[in-house]
Amino acid sequence: MITVADIMAFMETLAPNCLKMDWDNVGLNCGSKQAPVRRILVALDPFEHVCREAVDCKADLLVTHHPLIFRPWPMVTDDAAITRGLMNLVRHGISHFCAHTNLDCAEGGVNDVLAATLGLKQVTTVPNDAHRMLRCGEVEEQELSAFLAFVKNTLHCDGLRYCSGGKKVHKVAVGGGGCSGGLFDAICAGCDTFVTSDVKYNEFWDAYEQGLNLIDAGHFHTENPVVTVLAEKIAKQFPEIEVIISKTHADCMKFY
């Protein structure tokens, strides 16, 4: 019988807890390590609708990238969506496990998958990146407009925010989710283009003034590719378990 502890042990090989940032909350957020697992739901986020989906599909374990419990909650009631989701999981005996910043920087994790999805070749970790999050690699030299269209279509984005550094695209850095703070690391690595998300106003100006093409493809869309890869790895390791990718998780941010 496969248990939550067995899944956790396998996840440790993919994204060791020692790689997480100090402020992060990874691992088992709720449930029991001894609970049997026959069906797993995999999603990027453990929002309330995903927790409902876990109940509806009769999952025993919900595996996500983002934590269910990120900041301390003073009470667990049905007044907030996050705690309603938590209560729903507990009520139905469903455990929740997440691999967050440890999966971001792990080999084969979020940013390696993002680099592969965008077709980067000769991929390496960006030097001097303190958390070893960012990856860089090369694509065939092309106009920025062509690369923007490729990124939008490949990541299934509704739209992109970007600024042009006045260069063609060839050496590209990627950092899924909130990695925009690595902008100068990308520049120092000799990259002409940086694909990330959650970019602040001043960071666009920094990129513009430094001659870096900066593309904000959205938090969800830069991290979501890892969900399919993660589900495939779990299913391969545990063929007797049914592994389902969430059909309800999506980006709530839209372009008008």
Per-residue pLDDT tens digits for 157-205:
999 999 999 999 999 999 999 999 999 999 999 999 999 999 999 999 9
User: How many other CB atoms are there within 10 angstroms of residue 248's CB atom?
Assistant: 15
Is residue 197 left, alpha or beta, with left meaning phi > 0 and alpha meaning psi from -120 to 50? beta
What's the Rg (C-alpha) of the chain? Answer: 19
- The per-residue pLDDT for 248 is 95
Residue 50 CA neighbour count, 13 Å, CB half: 26
What pLDDT score does 73 carry? Answer: 80
- Which residues of the chain are modeled with pLDDT < 50? none
- Closest by CA position to 15, among listed 231, 241, 230: 230
Give the CB-side neighbour count of residue 88, counting CA atoms within 13 A.
Answer: 23
pLDDT at residue 75 in the model: 83
Whether residue 213 contacts residue 193, with contact meaning beta carbons closer than 8 Å, is answered with: yes
Place of tokens 């739901």: 41
Other C-beta atoms closer than 10 Å to the C-beta of 134 total: 29
C-alpha 91: how far from chain center: 27
pLDDT tens profile 139-157: 999 999 999 999 999 999 9
